[in-house]
Amino acid sequence: MNIPAPYMLMLGDNKDPLAIKTARGIHYWRPEKCVGQMRLNEDVPSLGLPDMNIDTAIAHGAKTFVLGTANAGGVLAESWIPLIVSAIEKGMHVASGLHQRLTDVPAIVDAAEDAGVELFDLRHSTQKLDVGSGVKRSGKRLLTIGTDCSVGKMFTTLALEDAMKKRALSASFCATGQTGILIEGSGIAIDAVVSDFIAGAVESISPDCAPDHWQLIEGQGSLLNPAFSGVTMGLLHGAQPDVLVLCHEVNRDHIRHMPHVPMPKMEDIMSLALRLGTLTNPNPRFVGVAINTSSLNEEDAINYLKEVGDAFNLPATDPVRFGVENIVDHLVTVFEDNA
């Protein structure tokens, strides 16, 4: 997928701030890609972007109409279809992270054909994929790996990209989930790929690159999440990471949505990831620990991160609170020493 920017962000009609999480992520990480927002009523939270209609957005250069909302069941509201068709007729591509496909709505498909624009169903891979090869690729790769889902892997990866670029390191973000794909404009939603092709899909989004370039690959799931471990395993082997960053959330006491499954220990995930990672990389290493400490006050968070850092002899941080400079410092040192 390659989604043309800039975007017009459609925020829907829901007043729940969580419903616009995807749009918020795009705006936070790539404000330059967002020309405006469209809210269907006044209760919908604002991202602080100018409110625009389709004509204004196009006049400001918007190329893709992004359905940046999550709603119950992932269904496309009937009432949005005329709006989407209108955006298409006026020349915009459309990207959607909903479960229901744009390409399953005949009015949308017909309009897109007539207008010659593209429809991006982010949850549904249409790309022709190969199975993984396991062949070592040139360049350097970092993968974020979590103790569970939703512990900050995407945020950490993007924060690392940002910090590395600010130091003039050569780095790029490789998206593996729908929000990441909208942020970057490209990538593959790994959890939507047919299981034979998980590793192959990851290989295709992180191909050979310059020896000093870092591909920063967004992790998914957890090796010890009973529902999604297969995705994480294929991602680890396909990514063949030189470097890993562990992501965790403090005070989460069980796997998300599974009260019967205790949270994995950080050290268990680390040792498993290193052991499994050697299949496709001769020397994978952890260079840092990124922890969501939002349940702690700042003093407790600082103390906790110090404990974790000491325990693993690695820089530990909460990327949201304290940034990821300490991880980048360490990464640079490790690779200077081992160049």
The three-point CA angle 35-39-41 to 5° equals: 160
Cβ closer to a copy of itself: 272 or 316? 272
Q: Do β-strands 214-217 and 7-12 pair in parallel, antiparallel, or remain unpaired?
A: unpaired
For the CA atoms of 180, 182, 186, 187, what is the dihedral angle to 10 degrees? 40
Residue 225 to residues 229, 234, 290: CA-CA distances in angstroms? 5, 14, 19
Phi, psi (rounded to 5 degrees) for 289? -130, 125
CB nearer to a copy of itself: pick between 81 and 261: 261
Q: Which is nearer to a copy of itself, 131 or 311 (CB)?
A: 131
Q: Compare residues 165 and 256 and give the one whose CB is closer to a copy of itself.
A: 256
Q: Taking the complex as a whole, how short is the minimal distance between the CB of residue 260 and a copy of itself, in angstroms?
A: 6
Please say which residue, 196 or 300, places its beta carbon nearer to a copy of itself.
196
Distance of closest approach, residue 302 Cβ to a copy of itself, in angstroms: 33
CA distance linking residue 301 with residue 82, whole number of Å = 48
Nearer to a copy of itself, 196 or 208 (CB): 196
- Output 90 or 256, the one with its CB closest to a copy of itself: 256
Task: Residue 5: name the closest of 50, 67, 66 by CA.
Answer: 66
- 114 SS3 class: helix
Cβ burial of 83 (10 Å; 0-12, 13-18, 19+) is: middle
CA 121 to chain centroid, in Å, comes to 16
CA distances, 70 to each of 52, 164, 310 (Å): 20, 31, 39
CA gap 330, 170 in Å, rounded: 16
Which residue type occupies 68? G
To a copy of itself, the closest distance from the beta carbon of 230 in angstroms equals: 3
Which two three-digit tokens encode residue 85? 């068709």
Measured from the CB atom, the residue of 14 and 179 that comes closer to a copy of itself is 179
User: C-beta of 147: minimal distance to a copy of itself in Å?
Assistant: 13
Nearest CB to a copy of itself, comparing residues 261 and 320: 261
Report the largest interatomic distance among the alpha carbons of the chain, rounded to a whole angstrom.
61
Contacts to a copy of itself by CB under 8 A: 131-135, 190-196, 198-200, 223-224, 226-235, 237-238, 255, 258, 260-261, 272, 275-276, 279-280
Q: What gap in Å lies between CA 142 and CA 266, rounded to an integer?
A: 18
Shortest Cβ distance from residue 202 to a copy of itself (Å)? 10
Q: How far is CA 329 from the centre of its chain?
A: 23
Q: How far is the CB of 192 from a copy of itself (least distance, A)?
A: 6
CB of 57 to a copy of itself, least distance (A): 33
Euclidean distance between CA atoms 67 and 21, whole angstroms: 11
Least distance from C-beta 258 to a copy of itself, angstroms? 6
For the bound state, the minimum distance from the C-beta of residue 125 to a copy of itself, rounded and expressed in Å, comes to 9
